């Protein structure tokens, strides 16, 4: 039998199926187990003993069901990559080494499993949003604020935020932004700002301008955020109310005099509405029997039903706050004339007189 060749040719019979000694699947994201649009997914694999380059054909790899770009540093060391786009569906993305063969044509068994590390990457292409937001003041009326009050803005993100958001209140960066609650899918934050004299009066708006989720998706900015419940804005009033007009009169025929049975009324007009429960008026040291009017003009009245031994000047005082709690500068000791409460046999003292003086 012939057992030799006449030239240098030879034949190697190779029936060994190639295997992989190492397979890894990673993302270029700072968290290699996560990915967002623009991140590169990479499958790196190494043949155990055989070169994978049958007929100069590269291995075929898919990532997330899409064809990957495959390159080799050697015939045994290969890398397949795919760059995620907005057309890819958010999901847990895997890979498949679809086909490869050694130099003899022995096929590599298809695989979708990494030998170390995860075999899938979480693809999240959704930017987090603010799902709920409220804004309140620590004022007695939580929809209003005065100088020094603290505005608190509480908001919840639709996804977990791992970076502290940037928040603006009344046009200023918030004094503090703290994480106050979290779940597996959301985070709740509280931002505060103490109102300053330099803050503009009027409606206080707020904005959320930064922050990102675990994958790096930036929180959608809300430069003109409105609350999802409760008041959308807080009204800031840093100014104390003023009285533009104050008068004191009597029901006596001479409006500048009064005697037993007469009613003295103090009428005052404020530059802005006053809080009814905050208004305190005294007339001659007495609490008025009635207070009516509002929200700008008020009338306090007191009827003198007790005789006095001497004529005296009727003083009055007015204290109040506006709706935000700013105190009215007290109006007192008006000396709007001496009031005769002295009676003799049912008649006023003919010597008493009342000079109406403004102060």
**Residue 100 to residue 300: CA distance in whole angstroms:** 98
Whether the predicted pLDDT of 349 surpasses 60: no
Whether the predicted pLDDT of 102 surpasses 70: yes
Whether the predicted pLDDT of 338 surpasses 80: no
Whether the predicted pLDDT of 346 surpasses 60: no
| Lowest pLDDT segment from 44-48, 140-144, 222-226, 316-320 | 222-226
Predicted confidence at residue 331, as pLDDT, reads 57
Q: How far is CA 21 from the centre of its chain?
A: 51
Torsion of CA 116, 117, 120, 123, to 10 degrees: -150
Distances (CA, A) of 20 to 23, 48, 106, 199: 7, 5, 13, 67
**Residue 234 to residue 135: CA distance in whole angstroms:** 7
Predicted confidence at residue 359, as pLDDT, reads 33
Phi, psi dihedrals of residue 260, rounded to the nearest 5°: -55, 130
% the chain with pLDDT above 90:
49
**Residue 193 to residue 206: CA distance in whole angstroms:** 10
Q: Which residue has the tokens 């790899």?
A: 61
The residue with greater pLDDT, 232 or 319, is 319
Pair 102, 51: CB distance under 8 Å? yes
**Per-residue pLDDT tens over the stretch 106-126:** 888 889 999 999 999 999 988
Contact residues for 57 (Cβ-Cβ < 8 A; gap 6+):
101
Predicted confidence at residue 297, as pLDDT, reads 96
Predicted confidence at residue 320, as pLDDT, reads 94
What confidence category does residue 197 fall into, taking pLDDT thresholds of 50, 70 and 90?
very high
Pair 135, 233: CB distance under 8 Å? yes
Q: Which residue has the tokens 């409220």?
A: 134
Predicted confidence at residue 348, as pLDDT, reads 42
Whether the predicted pLDDT of 139 surpasses 70: yes
The sign of the torsion formed by the CA atoms of 64, 65, 68, 72 equals: positive
pLDDT, averaged across the chain: 84
The pTM of this model reads 0.69
Pairing type for strands 234-236 and 144-145 reads parallel
Predicted confidence at residue 311, as pLDDT, reads 62
**Per-residue pLDDT tens over the stretch 267-280:** 999 999 999 999 99
Mean pLDDT calculated for residue range 45-60: 82
Whether the predicted pLDDT of 76 surpasses 70: yes
Mean pLDDT calculated for residue range 134-163: 92
What confidence category does residue 54 fall into, taking pLDDT thresholds of 50, 70 and 90?
low
DSSP three-state, residue 151: strand
Sheet strands side by side (includes 167-169): 172-173, 167-169, 206-208, 222-225
Mean pLDDT calculated for residue range 304-318: 75
Predicted confidence at residue 342, as pLDDT, reads 31
């Amino acid at each position: 039998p012939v057992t030799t060749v006449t030239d240098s040719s030879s034949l190697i019979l190779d029936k060994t199926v190639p295997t992989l000694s190492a397979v890894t699947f990673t993302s270029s994201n700072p968290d290699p187990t996560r990915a967002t649009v623009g991140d590169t997914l990479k499958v790196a694999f190494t043949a155990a003993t055989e070169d994978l380059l049958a007929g100069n054909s590269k291995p075929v790899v898919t990532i997330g069901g899409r064809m990957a770009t495959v390159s080799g540093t050697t015939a045994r060391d290969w890398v397949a990559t795919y760059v995620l786009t907005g057309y890819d569906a958010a999901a847990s993305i895997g890979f498949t080494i679809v086909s490869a063969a050694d130099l003899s044509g022995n096929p590599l068994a298809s695989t979708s499993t990494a030998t170390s590390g995860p075999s899938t990457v979480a693809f999240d292409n959704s930017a987090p949003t603010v799902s709920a937001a409220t804004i309140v003041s620590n004022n007695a009326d939580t929809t209003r604020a005065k100088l020094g009050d603290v505005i608190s803005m509480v908001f919840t993100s639709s996804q977990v935020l791992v970076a502290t958001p940037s928040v603006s209140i009344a046009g200023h960066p918030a004094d503090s932004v703290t994480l106050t609650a979290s779940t597996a899918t959301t985070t709740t934050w509280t931002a505060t700002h103490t109102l300053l004299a330099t803050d503009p009066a009027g409606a206080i708006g707020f904005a959320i301008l930064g922050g990102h989720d675990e994958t790096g998706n930036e929180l959608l900015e809300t430069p003109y955020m409105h609350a999802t419940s409760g008041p959308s804005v807080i009204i800031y009033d840093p100014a104390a109310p003023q009285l533009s007009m104050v008068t004191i009169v009597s029901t006596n025929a001479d409006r500048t005099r009064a005697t037993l049975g007469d009613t003295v009324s103090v009428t005052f007009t404020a530059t802005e509405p006053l809080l009814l429960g905050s208004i305190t008026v005294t007339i001659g040291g007495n609490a008025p029997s009635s207070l009516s009017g509002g929200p700008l003009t008020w009338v306090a009245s007191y009827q003198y039903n007790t005789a006095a031994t001497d004529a005296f000047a009727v003083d009055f005082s007015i204290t109040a706050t506006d709706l935000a709690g700013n105190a009215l500068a007290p109006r007192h000791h008006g000396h709007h004339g001496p009031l005769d409460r002295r009676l003799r046999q049912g008649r006023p003292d003919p010597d008493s007189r009342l000079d109406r003086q403004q102060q």
